[in-house]
Amino acid sequence: MNNENPKLGQENAEYPMLKLLKDLPAAALLTEIMTSLYNITIMVWDENGTILCANEVVARGFRRQTVDELLGENIAEFGPPEWAQERIEVAQRAIKSNQRITLMEILGGYRLRSCYRPLITTVDGETHKFVAVTIEQITPLEFKHACTQMPDELILHAQYNDLGRLDVLSPRELEILALMGEGLRAKDIAKQLCRSIKTIDNHRDNMGHKLGISDRSELIAIAHLAVLRVEDADCKRVQFSKVTQKTTPKTD
């Protein structure tokens, strides 16, 4: 132990996983972890959505030059009001239940798994409530596994999504694309949606025209990136990318 600083690392004592790190403060460990991850978004908010800690992935995602530009700002500054409010409510739910809540969402046309982990501490008799938020892109298999393994009350599906390039598609086209992503052929989709095969083919051609894609496999690949569900056709659409540039969003 460092004799000049006898308190070094003492804050680790209450965390069993860190009990042997007597000469490495938890704050230093957290800083190293957050600065070394390049593919996972990590933030810490208070219960009202104010950003208290973040890594560089967040800064890039919110189109800011440095992390310092984010600290002390509310998440509502970086997304449409309804989008931000939905996520603040998820954070508050995690804190209230003292359980991790997973939010499945689409951002920029990619399916993301956002985990909200409550952090509740007591200092000098006063309770402080925070939430750690991690966001990562997931595959269809990972999505299916999470949805089947987690209790329903601990996994939520976002109502407000940024569909990215898929925003040009109609709700019916999104349904068909989702079913294509599930491996269904035109005749199976037609049967499920009570439409003719010709109607399904026409919708598929229209999707290809709107997206600038003629190959069926490319359409399926896009569906897989978003891990589209039929239910996503009814989601409320937002245009997140425009707000990160501090312009007024246009919602559909």
pLDDT at position 59: 86
Last residue of a domain, one of 161, 193, 219: 161
| pLDDT tens figures, 139-178 | 999 999 999 988 888 999 999 999 999 999 999 999 999 9
pLDDT at position 1: 37
Query: And the tokens for 39?
Result: 């593919």
* 244 belongs to a structural domain: no
181 and 130 in one domain? Answer: no
149 and 111 in one domain? Answer: yes
169 and 146 in one domain? Answer: no
143 and 81 in one domain? Answer: yes
* 17 belongs to a structural domain: no
How many Cβ atoms are within 10 Å of 185's Cβ, its own excluded?
A: 13
What is the residue range of 101's domain?
A: 37-161
85 and 139 in one domain? Answer: yes
- What is the rounded radius of gyration, in angstroms, for the C-alpha atoms of the chain? 22
91 and 190 in one domain? Answer: no
Give one DSSP letter per residue of 152-201, joined into a string.
GGGEEE-SEE--GGGGGS-HHHHHHHHHHHTT--HHHHHHHHT--HHHHH
For the whole model, what pTM was predicted?
Answer: 0.84
Residue 41 maps to which CATH number? Answer: 3.30.450.20
230 and 125 in one domain? Answer: no
137 and 48 in one domain? Answer: yes
Secondary structure class of 238 (helix, strand, coil): coil
* 15 belongs to a structural domain: no
For residues 177 and 166, is the Cβ–Cβ distance under 8 A?
yes
122 and 50 in one domain? Answer: yes
Residues 6+ apart with CB under 8 A from 208: 214, 215, 219
For residues 219 and 180, is the Cβ–Cβ distance under 8 A?
yes
* 251 belongs to a structural domain: no
The total domain count for the chain is 2
Which residue numbers in the chain have pLDDT < 50?
1-4, 6, 243-252
Q: How far apart are CA 147 and CA 150, in angstroms?
A: 6
pLDDT at position 92: 97
Question: Order of strands, edge to edge, in the sheet holding 41-46?
Answer: 51-54, 41-46, 126-137, 110-123, 101-107, 155-157
